[in-house]
Structure 1
Amino acid sequence: MEREPNLVISSASQRIVEDGVPFEVNIYKLEGGDGWSLEVVTEDGTSIVWDDLFEDDRAAFEETISTIRREGAIAFVNGGSNVVPFKR
């Protein structure tokens, strides 16, 4: 039986605060996999995951910052059109 690949967490993953709004930035990939996944989690637990993979973890982190600054941090916490809430 083949073992499941490990999840590699990037050292670029971190908690950031933009415009007074805290975000948890999670950047990860499967061990041996191609590309890094990007997830941003808001303070209320809303998870935003990018569909595209990133060539490296730095590119994923830079995308986080540029998107939050372009869209405005508050757009992520107010359930803007770019956020699809999960049913609880």
Structure 2
Amino acid sequence: MAKKQKIEHSELSGEFTDDDVTVLVDISRPAGTNGDWKLEVVTQDEDLIEWEEGFATDREAFDEFLATVEREGIRTFLEDTDPSIH
């Protein structure tokens, strides 16, 4: 049986609230590696939005999240269109 890979979560991960909407921002990578950071957003309805590309740093991932909120608004994560990939 294969062991499950341990995950390292960025200190930038956590709840983010804007315009009365709260989402969970999760920035992670395999523990003990220098691999790319993965960015995911989990909505209040537990919808999962994942970015296809990895990020060199956790700060780059968080900055992309903030840029998306600034550009499209936090409610973009709540839309009924396919919210699974950014």
Unaligned stretches of 5+ in structure 2? Answer: none
Give the structure 2 partner of residue 40 of structure 1: 41
Q: Which amino acid counterpart does residue 79 of structure 2 have in structure 1?
A: N
Q: CA RMSD in A?
A: 2.0
Note the C-alpha offset of 1:58.
Answer: 0.7
SS of the aligned residue for 2:77 comes to helix
SS of the aligned residue for 2:80 comes to coil
SS of the aligned residue for 2:54 comes to coil
Q: Distance in 2 between matches of 1:15 and 1:76?
A: 14
Q: Radius of gyration: which is bigger? A: 1
Give the structure 1 partner of residue 14 of structure 2: 14
Aligned pairs, how many? 83
Unaligned stretches of 5+ in structure 1? Answer: none
Note the C-alpha offset of 1:33.
Answer: 4.4
Give the structure 2 partner of residue 70 of structure 1: 71
SS of the aligned residue for 1:12 comes to coil
Q: Which amino acid counterpart does residue 19 of structure 1 have in structure 2?
A: D
Note the C-alpha offset of 1:72.
Answer: 1.6
